[in-house]
Amino acid sequence: MAAIRVEGLQKIFGAVRALDGLTLTVEPGAVFGFLGPNGAGKTTTIRILTGLARPTGGRAWVGGVEVSTARREIARRIGYLPEEPAFYPWMTPLEFLDHVGRIFGLAAEERVARTEELLGLVGLADVGKRRIGGFSRGMRQRLALAQALVNRPEVLFLDEPASALDPVGRREVLQLIGRLRERCTVFMSTHILADVERVCDTVGIIACGRMVVEAPRGELIARYAAPAFEIEGDDGSAGQIAAWAETLRKVRWVTTVTVDGTVARVVVNDVETAKRELLAAAVQAGLVLTRYEMVRPSLEDVFLRLVGEGEAG
């Protein structure tokens, strides 16, 4: 039985079609990366799957239970970390998790044990008696993850869990998420490609409210990623690189070009032609290069290609 199953899900807000026949399946024990640009329909999907919103059309099941007909049962089976979790700043983590345990009807002894277990899991055992109001964003996010696990959920929904964190906070939260696959199914919505590559087993890419593709991460890269070349100029060449990239976008054997400072990443549809002509084109443009190499395709290459095709369609 699938942990999550969605068939033809639709959600319409006035003239806006946020979801347009979305269909997906998530297997038990997976860390599923729900990937898409801002406004693609990711948060709307999570709100429907957690029972916080009703679809305009279509059906959805979580843990074999249909969401629209058993919202109370769904609430007992899932955990949810919203994009912007809220806390009582005057509470301590011990008090906050005890409060959440009361909401789920846990007995006093179980609340104490569960609170200690979760604070240890998220690395906050040493600050259990400090006021939450003084916590950093990363500490608050780890506490929010702990509260989402209080009821031992079958399925954990995470909405952009690391998008607002600094690099250290992001690493800590992603490491925690990676360990959770031993405890529950994780459905993680994000627009950060590196986060998906780091922790997700399976990826679903959504654009304009529709599923563009759904597959294991490695299979997705192998099937859809085109070969890429990276060209790096010397210091101070960012302007030249950007101008050269604009000319490359008009070349028939170039699929996409992305620029990050003095580095251009060129995805091609004809490797042999690129090998013959790309370096020559850079030299002809007067670029002084410090690096030129053919690189392993990335999830970002796949994402840019498929989202572009999905939006065009």
Q: Cβ(146)–Cβ(85) under 8 Å?
A: no
58-92 burial, b at 16+ Cβ within 10 Å, e below that, comes to bebbbbebebeebeeebbebbbbbbeebebeeeee
Answer yes or no: is pLDDT of 226 > 80: no
- The reply to whether 201 and 57 lie within a common domain is yes
- Asked whether residue 313 is assigned to any structural domain, the reply reads no
Answer yes or no: is pLDDT of 25 > 90: yes
Domain at 267, CATH number: 3.30.70.100
Q: Cβ(244)–Cβ(236) under 8 Å?
A: no
- The reply to whether 268 and 195 lie within a common domain is no
- Please report, for residues 9, 67, 78, 230, 232, the alpha-carbon distance to residue 51 in angstroms, rounded to integers and kept in the order given: 14, 6, 10, 45, 48
- The reply to whether 56 and 199 lie within a common domain is yes
- The reply to whether 51 and 145 lie within a common domain is yes
- Tell me if residue 235 falls in helix, strand or coil: coil
Phi, psi dihedral angles at 113 (to 5 degrees): -65, -40
- The reply to whether 182 and 33 lie within a common domain is yes
Report DSSP letters for 218-234, one per residue. HHHHHHHPPPEEEEEE-
- The reply to whether 165 and 35 lie within a common domain is yes
How far is the C-alpha of 78 from the C-alpha of 184, rounded, in Å?
A: 9
Torsion of CA 205, 30, 72, 99, to 10 degrees: -110
Q: Give the model confidence (pLDDT) of 97-141 as tens digits.
A: 999 999 999 999 999 999 999 999 999 999 999 999 999 988 999
Domain at 14, CATH number: 3.40.50.300
For residue 69, the enclosing domain spans 4-222
Q: Give the model confidence (pLDDT) of 233-288 as tens digits.
A: 998 889 999 999 999 999 999 988 999 999 999 988 888 999 999 999 999 999 99
- Asked whether residue 307 is assigned to any structural domain, the reply reads no
Tell how strand 228-233 and strand 263-268 pair up: antiparallel
- The reply to whether 274 and 142 lie within a common domain is no
Tokens read off for 150: 């209080």
Which contiguous run of DSSP H or E holds residue 239?
helix 238-248
